[in-house]
């Protein structure tokens, strides 16, 4: 479990993230929503040990993040940044294999257990058909699935995903989010994901956290946040919530 206790972040004395208090559990998808610059990526970077909190604390398994070594932490928590590093000249399978680095280091020899973990991650993400192709030749959706496979090969209990849908068209967004939902349910993973599309977030997440100007504005089940006044406060423009034509969930549209 993650526990964020009054965590803040500032740069040169300017607050970027005001005190946040929240707990995150395995087996759920938490969607971080809000306008650009609201603090979503900052919060997820703090939780991923990418930058230290200015005040307050973040605990994982009842231990402050500062007590966790990098490789020890990576065995429990996997992070996918917004801007992915280059995977030039790597095949999908080679990229997925990098997920085993917390267990051996980047140059360690892989055991049969490692190879099995890689193949299992490839199977779970249905990337067998292009596992031996160069990552740079894959479509956006295929590439994101390979990166997710790398996180799964890492064997972590929590996935921290910073805008994994940013460069994808609507079809691939649905494909990737449906896969994340399936993996969360089947493996009881905890997932914290930064999303811009409120309708995607409400459809696939168990809980939404809305940030505005570095503050936690609203938090709760998607149905609790999907109302006109709350969404207008989050996004700063008139919104209307209506029933989806299939009748299963609500959708929001800007007026």
**Chain segment 121-165, per-residue pLDDT in tens:** 999 999 999 999 999 999 888 988 999 999 999 999 999 999 988
The b/e string for 42-63 (b: 16+ C-beta within 10 A; e otherwise) is bbbbbbbbeeebeebebbbeee
The DSSP code for 110 is: P
The pLDDT of residue 248: 67
Phi, psi of 124 (to 5 degrees): -65, -30
Is 10 contained in some domain?
no
- pLDDT confidence band for 6 (50 / 70 / 90): very high
pLDDT digits (tens, 9 = 90+) for 10-19: 999 899 999 9
- Which of the residue ranges 18-22, 182-186, 251-255 would you say has the lowest mean pLDDT? 251-255
% of the chain residues with pLDDT over 90: 67
Does residue 191 belong to any structural domain of this protein? no
Closest of 253, 120, 135, 128 to residue 183, by C-alpha: 120
| pLDDT value of residue 240 | 83
Average confidence (pLDDT) over 111-120? 92
**Interstrand relation of 239-243 and 250-254 (parallel, antiparallel or unpaired):** antiparallel
φ and ψ at 178, to 5 degrees?
-65, -40
CA–CA separation, 18 vs 135, rounded Å? 39
Q: Which long-range contacts (CB under 8 A, 24 or more apart) does 100-107 make?
A: 100/153, 100/154, 101/71, 101/74, 101/154, 102/71, 102/72, 102/74, 102/75, 102/154, 102/155, 103/71, 103/75, 103/155, 105/71
The reported pTM is 0.92
Q: How far apart are CA 12 and CA 15, in angstroms?
A: 9
- If one counts the domains in the chain, the total is 1
- Across 43-57, 89-103, 237-251, least confident range: 237-251
For residue 236, pLDDT beyond 90: no
Q: What is the pLDDT of residue 104?
A: 78
Q: Is 73 a member of any domain? A: no
Q: Is 140 among the domain residues?
A: yes
Binned at pLDDT 50, 70 and 90, residue 108 comes out as: low
Residue 231 belongs to some domain of the structure: no
Percent of the chain exceeding pLDDT 70 equals 96
pLDDT category at 43 given cuts 50, 70, 90 is very high
Alpha-carbon 124 to chain mean position: 17
In a domain, 107, yes or no: yes
- 112-124 vs 140-153: helix axis angle to the nearest 10? 140
Span of 45-49, 58-62, 237-241 with lowest mean pLDDT: 237-241
Spell out the alpha helix ranges (H) of the chain: 40-47, 70-74, 92-97, 101-104, 112-124, 140-153, 170-187, 198-204, 222-225, 228-235
Domain that holds residue 113: 86-155
133 domain residue, yes or no: yes
* Residue 121 belongs to a domain: yes
């Amino acid at each position: 479990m993650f526990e964020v206790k009054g965590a803040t972040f500032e740069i040169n004395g300017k607050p970027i993230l005001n005190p946040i208090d929240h707990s995150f559990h395995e087996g759920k998808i938490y969607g971080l929503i809000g306008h650009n610059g609201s603090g979503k990526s900052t919060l997820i970077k703090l939780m991923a040990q990418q930058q230290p909190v200015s005040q307050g604390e973040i605990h994982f398994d009842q231990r402050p993040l500062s007590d966790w070594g990098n490789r020890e932490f990576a065995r429990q928590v996997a992070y996918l940044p917004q801007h992915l590093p280059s995977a030039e000249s790597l095949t999908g399978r080679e990229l997925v294999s990098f997920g085993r680095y917390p267990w051996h280091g980047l140059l360690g020899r892989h055991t049969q257990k490692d190879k099995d973990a890689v193949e299992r991650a490839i199977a779970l993400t249905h990337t067998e058909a292009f596992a031996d192709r160069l990552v740079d030749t894959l479509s956006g959706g295929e590439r994101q699935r390979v990166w997710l496979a790398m996180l799964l090969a890492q064997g972590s209990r929590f996935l921290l995903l910073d805008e994994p849908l940013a460069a994808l068209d609507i079809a691939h967004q649905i494909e990737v989010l449906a896969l994340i939902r399936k993996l969360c349910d089947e493996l009881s993973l905890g997932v914290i994901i930064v999303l811009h599309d409120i309708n995607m977030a409400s459809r696939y997440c168990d809980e939404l956290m809305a940030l505005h100007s570095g503050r936690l504005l609203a938090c709760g089940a998607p149905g609790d946040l999907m109302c006109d006044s709350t969404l207008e406060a989050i996004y700063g423009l008139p919104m209307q919530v209506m029933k989806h034509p299939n009748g299963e969930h609500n959708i929001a549209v800007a007026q």
